[in-house]
Structure 1
């Protein structure tokens, strides 16, 4: 089957296209995709949210007397730029290493040129941004866990938008579920089966749900006064949601056949996140919060 009529077809993957126009004798067009816009808006919203956290010193301590933000709005702006580099470079290299390893020797140029076709890995982007946070914390003498806490609180916005863009693209669909009332067909599915809309599950779990949990923790319970707590909840929460939802996602085709029904690459990469997050949560809850009396 060359084309499958998708169940949801109200929003096209390409919002609009610039061109065609002539460039050095070549006619080219520049499509503006929802996928790219999701990254742009996610990063901009995260930057603005992080800036607001920096302007609320009372959020960072249980005592107003010792309150103070560990970073400034200027640091947030700096992180916005370098974080964008970390997301793109880490996300792309992670996708190649984890999901398209053979491309390294079979078509190395595609690693860069093929980015317009999609192909980004959250776990790769996570490593890229983590590297940026470590370097920035050292450069500006900011306590690392306090900086990662701020990044953890704002990151679910981008995850939610990214998963919605995956849904619009009709990619990363779930396993076949013909009896499910809300099952959907996706244009890229060669079998045109009714499937779990797993992108929407992930947009809710990895994005909206974590955003609400971390928001309540931050604004209602002063969770940022416990260094590492927000980071731990985000890392463990994402890992847990991703690992569970992998059960309804289509197995990775490059995984050995005898493993596909039991574990996916997403699960394998998420299990260490759950362990790390759990340790950070334990550490944060067993240490005194910032500003607490001795």
Structure 2
């Protein structure tokens, strides 16, 4: 297996191919669509409206004195980036079998291009909903450097998981059928439509459930972005007849959250990279 420095040099030398793959992905996704890139703006807003109607209005999930729609968007935009990157990368090696069997290039370019393309959609989504965040939660320019670092961490984590599934599905084709089910379960086990504080306060054994949820690395990334973009979502306070206290505004997450996210990002990327590189030599034969 080539060293990381050698691979990085090879990727840099083929950066034009990477740019072409990114452009192809951005064009193909909405090819033939009347609205095109507007779907990157419409989809998160439409989903926010649906989830707000179902969970905040019909099911009345306890959320305290806060805005459920903004809270949901702060977590879902990052989840959508992660899910779409992994789902598209899972079958990407097989889908590009003709290119792989005919031309040599660093195979990492394929999942890498998909993650970067999804990152473009994430940035578009954040730009579209930022006025809503500012209107509801205030303007906090001092948090922008932390948001950039958080985006880099989740991108690193996503790239690792994408490379892992990209390699595994070449050998285990049934994963492409199983992955949507896995992602659905993973979504509901990640605090996106509910907060950690709500689970801790609503359930009789809330602390135990919080411990279980925090085994999931995406829980930490969801908390990271919820804190940076929304603030702290406090649960209802049944002992307070006047209602629950207002939710604190966006702020810098604690060091534990940063530390776990950094560790998860590094471990996922290294593990995904190693598995991908060890499998890459046989891709041409298997696809």
Could you state the TM-score of these two structures normalised by the residue count of structure 1?
Answer: 0.35
Higher RCO structure (Cα 8 Å, ≥6 apart): 2
Could you state the TM-score of these two structures normalised by the residue count of structure 2?
Answer: 0.36
